[in-house]
Amino acid sequence: QRHVYNAKRREQYHRQLEGSRVKRRERERARYHSLTNDAAKDRNARRARLERERYQRLKPDELESKNRKRRERAAMARQKKEASAVAPASAGAATSIAPAPDVASPNVKEELPAAEGEAQESAAAPKEKAEPEPVISV
């Protein structure tokens, strides 16, 4: 019975309009933040208890697989975060990324190192063309 009810609620949730969704989120946010300190503590304690019970019901192999998946997700998120932090810094350095030498395809031209050198020279060029400082005569 419960899964039928949940399926119906899920269908209603996905069927609602964006305006209704925004209003519902605002109501939920207002209700969440209107809780007194004691009610918030009770809610957090209840959530923690439920999560502990859920973990205690798991079999050892299920718990191990769940933890492994969690660690993999965390590692992927960390890699994605590091890649996004590196991407803006290297975006201005070169317009195209050359493949690693061990994975080079036969279609790759031998002129790639020269092209990288040209890109480095063109990146350094704007620094050389800086405006001369105005001379102030006394």
Q: Give the closest residue to 124 by CA, choosing from 82, 84, 92, 99.
A: 92
- The series of mean pLDDT values per 10 residues for the chain, 138 residues long, is 90 85 88 78 90 91 94 96 80 52 48 47 49 64
Domain contains 138 = no
Domain contains 110 = no
Domain contains 96 = no
Which residues constitute the domain of residue 31? 1-84
Q: Can you list the pairs that 42-48 forms with residues at least 24 positions away whose Cβ atoms lie under 8 Å?
A: none
Q: Give the closest residue to 98 by CA, choosing from 89, 86, 110.
A: 110
Note whether 123 and 92 are within 8 A (CB): yes
Domain contains 77 = yes
pLDDT in tens, 95-126: 455 555 554 444 444 444 444 444 444 444 44
Instruction: Give pTM, 2 decimals.
Output: 0.34
The pLDDT assigned to 44 comes to 87
The pLDDT assigned to 13 comes to 81
Into how many domains does the chain fold? 1
